[in-house]
Amino acid sequence: MNKFTEALTISEKEKITQDIEMDKDQEQKLVFRIADLIRENKNLSNQLKELTENFQKLSLKTEKYENLLASLPPDLIPKEIEAQKTRTQRFEMATVLYADIQGFKKISEHSKSSEIIDELDQIFFHFNTIVEKYKIEKIKTIGDAYMCAGGVPEKNITNPVDVVLAALEMQDYLNELKREYESQNKNFWDLKMGIHTGPVTATFTGRKKISYELKGDTVHIATRMASASEEGEINISIMTYELVKQYFTCDYNGKIPVKYKGDMEMYFLRRIKPAYSLERKTGKHPNQIFMNKYLLRQFTDLQEIILDKLEKELPSHLYYHNFKHTIDVINQAELIGYGEGVDDESILLLKTAALLHDAGHIVGYDEHEYNGTQIAREFLPKYKYTPEQIEKICKLIMATKLPPKPENVLESIMCDSDLDYLGRSDFIPVSNTLYKELKEQNKIGTLNDWNKLQVKFLSVHQFFTKTAQQLREVNKQMQIERIKKLIEED
């Protein structure tokens, strides 16, 4: 026994003995925990190996069956099997989001693998809800990575904005969960996200439940954006930035080398700009100003769908009330609207009403204005128009019913846009298409009768807006004299 041991009191010796026993007990528990983790890891490795082998076997079988189907004549393939065949489509502008969830090793030290999987499932389930809200397509989930894309399978011009809004909502959701876990002294996931906009090739299978796989540089660059990001941040490429910078605050994040493309600039996405956000401090949710600009951008998609519908479904005897007339009215509504100094929302309402004001001819010639309002009520809710906006659009459509009796500025613009041809240099050839249209339906007599009716209508007609009066009134008076001469010749 040395002098140090002799100097210790009995209580101090007991305390040291207890501490040594506690250390041994903690050490033993730690050894058991490590052993449990090793066993779990080994089991997961075996499961992964088995799943990989099964996947390879199934892939070989699938390839064999696809080759067999490809060799059969199309008429011998049942419709159910035909629907399962792999199809490929190229999209010139899609926005890919790649989310890489960080912290697996850190969390696995304190949680069972089953708990980790449950937490991931909870996160991905909520991500799926967000993706569905913004009409984005979930592509695939691989381990602790998540991928989705906007502009697939339905092409749309707003997909960069849609994906960025979804990314901000995902980030906000994970931050809230993290705060909740940290308040309980528990570790939680971090998120690194990358977004890039560009062309993709989509391979899809199935009929009722379609699954998608994306290929191309856009997918690769989105993953590079995620790897170059920081934990808790959203890193977007220069391409996506240029398409969304009007709406969002971003900070420059340097450059990254991209194969075949050189150095690509990156930006950290921060928030919705204060002027476009309901919460000026946090910038989480878009306000109505944001939505009006969004809908004006989206109008291109809506216009393409409606004009295609008009071209395919309007009766062949509509020589005047066709899709060309609709395009003329849309352009004129925008021109007069800006000339009268109305705001963005008013321009949106005018252009949408112009797009749909003659769509009711698909249903019937008479009361086509009312029929157009029914089509508006059917289509516009799908495109995020508010009930109040839809109601105003329907009133603008009804304002085009003859004789025009506008009750406000927007209705005046709408009426002038619809009858803009009255003061154009091509008035006579355009009016002749209307005569031909009415004649085939037995709604008018001779051409001479028509010309007399035209002079009468033009003589009492007036343009309501200053813009239209300046652009068209003088020429309209000239058209009256030209038609009078035609009547005299008859």
pLDDT digits (tens, 9 = 90+) for 361-398: 999 999 999 999 999 999 999 999 999 999 999 999 99
CA distances from 452 to 151, 429, 442, 448, 456 (A): 53, 16, 17, 6, 6
Q: How high is the pLDDT of residue 147? A: 94
Those residues with Cβ within 8 angstroms of residue 96's Cβ, 6 or more apart along the chain or in another chain? 139, 147, 148, 149, 163, 195, 196, 197, 200, 214, 218, 219, 222
186: amino acid identity, one letter: K
pLDDT at residue 112 above 60? no
What mean pLDDT is reported for the chain?
86
Q: Percentage of residues in the chain with pLDDT exceeding 70?
A: 81
4 vs 278 pLDDT, higher one: 278
109 vs 407 pLDDT, higher one: 407
Max avg pLDDT among 14-23, 238-247, 450-459 = 238-247
| pTM for the structure as a whole | 0.77
184 vs 463 pLDDT, higher one: 463
Range 330-352 average pLDDT: 97
Residue 75's pLDDT band (boundaries 50, 70, 90)?
A: low
184 vs 3 pLDDT, higher one: 184
DSSP H or E segment with residue 57: helix 10-70
pLDDT at residue 48 above 70? no
Residues 193-214 pLDDT 10s: 999 999 999 887 765 556 677 8
Residue 44's pLDDT band (boundaries 50, 70, 90)?
A: low
Range 221-235 average pLDDT: 94
Average the pLDDT over each of 20-34, 210-224, 400-414 and give the range with the smallest value: 20-34
489 vs 211 pLDDT, higher one: 211
Q: How high is the pLDDT of residue 145? A: 86
Average the pLDDT over each of 55-69, 335-349, 426-440 and give the range with the smallest value: 55-69
Range 78-94 average pLDDT: 71
pLDDT at residue 490 above 50? no
Q: How high is the pLDDT of residue 218? A: 94
405, two tokens? 């009796």
Strand intervals (E) in 103-215: 137-142, 145-150, 190-205, 211-215
178 vs 434 pLDDT, higher one: 434
Range 463-488 average pLDDT: 88
Cis-peptide, bond into residue 403, ω within 30° of zero: yes
Range 407-434 average pLDDT: 94
Q: Are strands 248-258 and 211-215 parallel, antiparallel or unpaired?
A: unpaired
Q: How high is the pLDDT of residue 125? A: 92
Report the alpha-carbon distance of residue 387 to residue 41 in Å, rounded.
Answer: 55
Residues 307-324 pLDDT 10s: 999 999 999 999 999 989
Buried b or exposed e, range 298-311, using 16+ CB within 10 angstroms: bbebbbeebbeebe
Buried b or exposed e, range 356-393, using 16+ CB within 10 angstroms: bbbbbbbeebeebbebbbebbbebbeeeebeeebbebb
Range 261-266 average pLDDT: 92
Range 123-133 average pLDDT: 93
Q: Percentage of residues in the chain with pLDDT exceeding 90?
A: 59
389 vs 37 pLDDT, higher one: 389
Average the pLDDT over each of 5-9, 64-68, 478-482 and give the range with the smallest value: 5-9
Residue 189's pLDDT band (boundaries 50, 70, 90)?
A: confident
427 vs 212 pLDDT, higher one: 427
Q: How high is the pLDDT of residue 111? A: 55
Strand intervals (E) in 103-144: 137-142
